[in-house]
């Protein structure tokens, strides 16, 4: 599941909306919506995001958060380490090999380390 898929599922659940009802309202198939929620599709298009936001009558901060989550929800990520030191490429490859087996607490620790590093810049 992706961050956007999780948020969309939560939003539907809180409002008592089925996948079929939402899919019909925004002009996609229930199968596509299911795949989007389960991370089997890439990030949604701007137009689809607009239809979802309009359907749920979402404004300002909540809409901005959905856009942010959509940006962070592409299930197939590509890292370009060309021109970086060899250790960066090795790390990216090791992460790609092991990400499916990492426990949640390790992912949380790595996320915290990335956040700290971005704040230092």
Whether the per-residue pLDDT at 17 is higher than 90: the answer is: yes
pTM equals: 0.71
Q: Is pLDDT larger for residue 25 or for residue 78?
A: 25
Please check the confidence at residue 116 and state whether its pLDDT lies above 80. Answer: yes
What distance in Å separates the CA atoms of residue 67 and residue 36, rounded to the nearest whole number?
A: 14
pLDDT of 18 reads 96
| 20 and 44, same domain (yes or no) | yes
Are 58 and 107 found together in one domain? Answer: no
Asked whether residue 77 is assigned to any structural domain, the reply reads: no
Burial 68-91 (b: 16+ CB within 10 A, else e): ebbeebeeeeeeeeeeeeeeeeee
Host domain of residue 102: 86-120
Average pLDDT over the chain, rounded to an integer: 93
Q: Judge whether 78 lies within some domain.
A: no
d(CA 104, CA 37) in angstroms, rounded, equals: 20
- Specify if 19 maps to a domain: yes
Asked whether residue 56 falls in the same domain as residue 11, the answer is: yes
User: pLDDT confidence of 14, banded at 50, 70, 90?
Assistant: very high
What's the pLDDT score for residue 16? Answer: 96
Confirm whether 93 is domain-assigned: yes
- Under a CB-based contact definition with an 8 Å cutoff, are residues 75 and 42 in contact? yes
Does the structure show a pLDDT above 80 at 91?
Answer: yes
Residue 75 has pLDDT above 90, yes or no: no
């Amino acid at each position: 599941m992706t961050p956007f898929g999780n948020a969309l599922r939560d939003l539907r659940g809180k409002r008592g909306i089925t996948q079929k009802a939402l899919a019909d309202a925004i002009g996609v198939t229930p199968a596509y919506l299911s795949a989007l929620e389960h991370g089997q599709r890439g990030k949604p298009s701007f137009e689809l995001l607009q239809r979802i936001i309009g359907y749920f009558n979402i404004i300002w901060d909540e809409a901005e958060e959905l856009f942010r989550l959509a940006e962070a929800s592409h299930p197939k990520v590509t890292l370009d380490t060309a021109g970086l030191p060899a250790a960066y490429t090795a790390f990216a490859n090791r992460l790609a090999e092991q990400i499916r087996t990492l426990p949640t607490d390790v992912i949380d620790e790595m996320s915290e380390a990335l956040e700290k590093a971005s704040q230092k810049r």
